[in-house]
Homo-oligomer: A and B are copies of this chain.
Amino acid sequence: MNELDLIRLLTQNLPTHPAVVVGPGDDCAVLDLGLPDHWLLFKTDAIVEDTHFTRDTPPEDVGHKALARPLSDIAAMAGTPTAALVTAALPATFDPRRVCAVYNGITRLAQRCHVAIAGGETTRTPDRILLSVSVLGTVPRRRCPLRSAAQPGDAIFVSGDLGGSLAGKHLRFEPRLSEARWLAEHFPIHAMIDLSDGIATDLPHVLDASHVGAELLKSAIPVSRAARTRARTRQSPKAALLAALTDGEDFELLFTLPPRHAVSLFDRWTRQFPGLRLSCIGKITAQPGLTLRDASGLQPLAAHGYVHFDKP
């Protein structure tokens, strides 16, 4: 049984509450606790040694990543984080200097994003370090772009460059909080998600939730320099484009918008975020399924990547 099957099983018939606006299945849970203008966002995320980082990862980067991941989910809802709780499960042999350096990484990012570290705990684990971070945030009522809101005809955009994040970005990415808030304030964004597992895995979450399909344009995918270098130097067995479509942990934003806003969006984005590329990579279709268009026509895109790229 894989993780998705397990989650599908576990999230059947979960108890709910009148305050829950959006439960399991989006980037964050959304709660209405009666704040006049805001909903609450609630998210948790864990990273584990030897899965998300190694013994050799600089500890500040470990802390940064532990907080940046759930903040990226708050960004995907166009929200503002308020407070975080940090659980550190530590082996009995932990090095206090290393643990303090991990917390420095958390603290530095929290300060930059104006998030309180409001508590948490340490617990013993016999083996590897695990960090679990929960974040509470707010979003203006009804201004929260859900995965389920994509509509046929929408243009699909991504921020930044994709692929090859193992070269370093997976430890040092900045959650796109201000970009996402700016987008939701100035444009009628339909759906939004953060790219944690790659377009080929994450875009289908939007398509399934919205009951639509998508057609991507191969030449429009913003392939990162890291993905190109890793492909050229054989650090990765994947072609650069395949890496851009399937590598995880880019933590860029993917969102959909009625196409009539595209020109204005590019124009204002370039002035607002001159250092960050924005790409229109395709469109939402009424026909379900995810396809990639290149010179030879349309090909289905599977979660593990474009079939053609998998062949030598």
0/1 per residue, A247-278, Cβ < 8 Å to B?
00000000000000000000000000000000
What's the minimum C-beta distance from A27 to chain B, rounded to whole angstroms? 9
Question: Complex: how many Å from CA A199 to CA B1?
Answer: 44
Give the segment of A40-48, A163-171, A200-208, A221-229 that binds chain B: A40-48
Q: Oligomeric state, in number of copies? A: 2
Contact partners of A15 in chain B: CB under 8 A: 107, 110-111, 114-117
Q: By the criterion CB–CB under 8 Å, are A132 and B87 in contact?
A: yes
Contact partners of A38 in chain B: CB under 8 A: 33-34
Q: By the criterion CB–CB under 8 Å, are A51 and B19 in contact?
A: no
Is A134 positioned at the interface, with any CB of B under 8 Å from its CB? yes
Quick one: which of B29, B33, B100 contacts A10, CB cutoff 8 A?
B100
Q: Chain B residue with minimal CB distance to A120?
A: B44
What's the minimum C-beta distance from A217 to chain B, rounded to whole angstroms? 32
Question: Complex: how many Å from CA A99 to CA B6?
Answer: 9
- List residues 64-112 of chain A with CB under 8 A from any CB of chain B: 82-83, 85, 87-89, 96, 99-100, 103, 107, 110-111
Contact partners of A82 in chain B: CB under 8 A: 17, 19, 31, 33
Question: Complex: how many Å from CA A100 to CA B299?
Answer: 38
Quick one: which of B115, B117, B127 contacts A127, CB cutoff 8 A?
B127
- List residues 1-51 of chain A with CB under 8 A from any CB of chain B: 1, 3, 6-7, 9-10, 13-17, 19-20, 23-26, 28-29, 31, 33-36, 38, 40, 42-48, 50-51
Q: By the criterion CB–CB under 8 Å, are B48 and A118 in contact?
A: no
Question: Complex: how many Å from CA A307 to CA B43?
Answer: 45
Given the known A-B contacts A44-B87, A99-B10, are A17 and B114 also in contact in the complex, defined by CB atoms under 8 Å?
yes
Given the known A-B contacts A96-B9, A100-B10, are A24 and B124 also in contact in the complex, defined by CB atoms under 8 Å?
no
Q: By the criterion CB–CB under 8 Å, are B117 and A14 in contact?
A: yes
Q: By the criterion CB–CB under 8 Å, are B132 and A16 in contact?
A: no
Q: By the criterion CB–CB under 8 Å, are B23 and A116 in contact?
A: yes
Given the known A-B contacts A44-B85, A46-B87, are A107 and B138 also in contact in the complex, defined by CB atoms under 8 Å?
no
Is A128 positioned at the interface, with any CB of B under 8 Å from its CB? yes
Q: Which residues of A contact B (CB under 8 A)?
A: 1, 3, 6-7, 9-10, 13-17, 19-20, 23-26, 28-29, 31, 33-36, 38, 40, 42-48, 50-51, 82-83, 85, 87-89, 96, 99-100, 103, 107, 110-111, 114-128, 130, 132, 134, 136, 138
Q: Across the A-B interface, give the 8 residue pairs with the lowest CB-CB distance, nearest first.
A: A29-B118, A17-B116, A134-B134, A127-B127, A14-B117, A44-B85, A132-B132, A29-B119
15 pairs from A and B in contact (CB 8 Å cutoff): A6-B99, A7-B122, A10-B122, A14-B116, A15-B111, A17-B82, A19-B116, A23-B118, A31-B83, A40-B40, A43-B119, A44-B85, A44-B120, A125-B128, A126-B127
